[in-house]
């Protein structure tokens, strides 16, 4: 499947997997982040049970320096 | 003397709030924030760099959320929708954290706030349970409306973001302070320590700044200067200044006992 992650398309071999698996694949385990899928926030408690589908748009954000 | 800043039922010793942007590196950010004595620090919410960050330190490693009160902002947002979306992500990121800084910009050249979008976003966020500290123009009517919507602090600009131009309209700030029932903090425009002192002498409850410290020749030294200026300005405000007179007919030294 193909996902749009932070504005860029990325292809994956599997037809579907959960948000938790995506976080592993992107080497983001243990990082403090928040994820939005198709405009809706996916709470961290739902990462294991939220399945992604071809064409999903994801925003993955963190805190950075700012004023 | 116990003189605490109270925002949304939480109290703070420091009346200086600082941003975490524009520093050379995270170590300098941390050292400047320590020197400033700030307890509330602003952060921005941005897309995570994917594939490049494994093992790299992050801002949060240097400024643990357990040690500071984080104030996530909406810097770079030009619509109410984007600002609300950003702060909902921030709340998720920071485990349900409610205290936020709302700013909706109107123009990339001046970074002047768009108050129509800001008012709309403030309404949505207050309804959604956020404690909103709101960046605004120095219009006393808008400031009052933001308070009436339920914002926990009103933060007018002293001059444009990052300009360092200082307190350009103390008279408007004075009207906003006199009319407010929530804390008024100056956000944006402070350039050096005397600007911070002037804002505090007007009766501001606190000051939020970033560039004045980060872009100083020596940010850590300037952070300490700002801490002292905010404290000095606050104490001068509480003490009550002497009335201004063009000249005085009462010298400080005795008028009798002069040699002849």
This prediction has a pTM of: 0.92
Q: Exactly one of B10, B101, B123, B227 is catalytic; which is it?
A: B101
First to last CA, chain A: 38
Q: Which residues from A are below 8 Å from B58, CB to CB?
A: 31-32, 62-63
Domain A2-62, CATH number (from 3.40.1390.10, 3.40.228.10, 3.10.620.30, 3.10.20.30):
3.10.20.30
Q: What is the pLDDT of residue B1?
A: 59
| A15 to chain B, closest Cα gap in Å | 21
Q: Which helix (H) or strand (E) holds A62?
A: strand A57-65
Q: What is the pLDDT of residue B53?
A: 59
Identify any residues that bridge with A18 across adjacent strands, giving them in sequence order: A51
Which residues does chain B have with pLDDT short of 70?
1, 52-55
Q: What is the pLDDT of residue B52?
A: 66
pLDDT one-digit tens code per residue, B128-161: 999 999 999 999 999 999 999 999 999 999 999 9
pLDDT one-digit tens code per residue, A4-25: 999 999 999 988 899 999 999 9
- The encoded tokens of residue B132 equal 């909103």
Cβ-based neighbours of B170, under 8 Å, separated by 6 or more: B198, B202
Q: What is the pLDDT of residue A51?
A: 94
Identify any residues that bridge with B10 across adjacent strands, giving them in sequence order: B7
Q: What is the ipTM of this complex?
A: 0.93
Cβ-based neighbours of B213, under 8 Å, separated by 6 or more: B18, B32, B36, B219, B222, B223, B226
The number of C-beta contacts closer than 8 angstroms across A and B is 99
How far from chain centre, in Å, is Cα B202? 15
Q: Do B161 and A67 touch (CB under 8 A)?
A: yes
| A4 to chain B, closest Cα gap in Å | 12
> Considering chain A, what is the average pLDDT of its residues?
93
Q: What is the pLDDT of residue B58?
A: 85
Q: Do B58 and A28 touch (CB under 8 A)?
A: no
HEC sequence for B51-83: CCCCCCCCHHHHCCCCCCEEEEECCCCCCHHHH
Which of the 8 DSSP states describes residue A51? B
Tell me the average pLDDT across A53-63: 95
First to last CA, chain B: 47
Q: What is the pLDDT of residue B247?
A: 86
Q: What is the pLDDT of residue B106?
A: 96
Angle between helices B115-127 and B140-149 in degrees, nearest 10: 20
User: For chain A, which residues make up each domain, given as ranges?
Assistant: 2-62
| A65 to chain B, closest Cα gap in Å | 4
Say which residue the tokens 């643990």 belong to.
Answer: B64
HEC sequence for A21-36: HHHHHCCCCCCCCEEE
B153 touches chain A (CB under 8 A): no
Which one of A27, A32, A67 has the shortest CB-CB distance to B42? A67
């Amino acid at each position: 499947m193909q996902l749009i992650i932070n504005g860029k398309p990325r292809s994956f071999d599997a037809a579907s997997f959960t948000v938790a698996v995506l976080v592993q694949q992107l080497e983001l385990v243990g990082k403090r982040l928040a994820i939005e899928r198709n405009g809706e926030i996916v709470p961290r408690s739902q990462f294991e049970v939220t399945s992604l589908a071809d064409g999903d748009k994801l925003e993955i954000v963190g805190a950075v320096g700012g004023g | 003397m116990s003189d605490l800043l109270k925002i949304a039922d939480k109290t703070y010793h420091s009346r200086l709030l600082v941003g975490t942007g524009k520093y050379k590196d995270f170590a300098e950010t941390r050292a400047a924030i320590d020197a400033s004595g700030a307890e509330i620090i602003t952060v921005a919410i941005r897309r995570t760099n994917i594939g490049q960050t494994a093992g790299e330190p992050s801002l949060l490693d240097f400024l643990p959320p357990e040690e500071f009160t984080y104030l996530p902002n909406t810097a770079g947002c030009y619509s109410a929708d984007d600002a609300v979306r950003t702060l909902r992500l921030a709340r998720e990121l920071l485990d349900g954290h409610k205290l936020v800084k709302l700013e909706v910009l109107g123009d990339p050249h001046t970074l002047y706030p768009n108050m129509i979008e800001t008012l709309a976003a403030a309404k949505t966020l207050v309804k959604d349970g956020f404690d909103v500290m709101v960046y605004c123009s120095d219009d006393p009517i808008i400031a009052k409306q933001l308070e009436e919507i339920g914002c926990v602090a009103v933060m007018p600009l002293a001059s444009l973001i990052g300009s360092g131009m200082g307190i350009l309209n103390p008279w408007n700030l004075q009207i906003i302070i006199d009319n407010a029932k929530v804390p008024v903090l100056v956000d944006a425009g402070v350039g050096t320590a005397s600007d911070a002192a002037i804002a505090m002498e007007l009766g501001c409850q606190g000051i939020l700044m970033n560039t004045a410290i980060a872009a100083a020749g020596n940010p850590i030294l300037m952070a300490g200067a700002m801490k002292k200026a905010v404290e000095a300005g606050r104490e001068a405000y509480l003490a009550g200044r002497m009335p201004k007179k063009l000249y005085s007919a009462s010298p400080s030294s005795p008028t009798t006992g002069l040699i002849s």
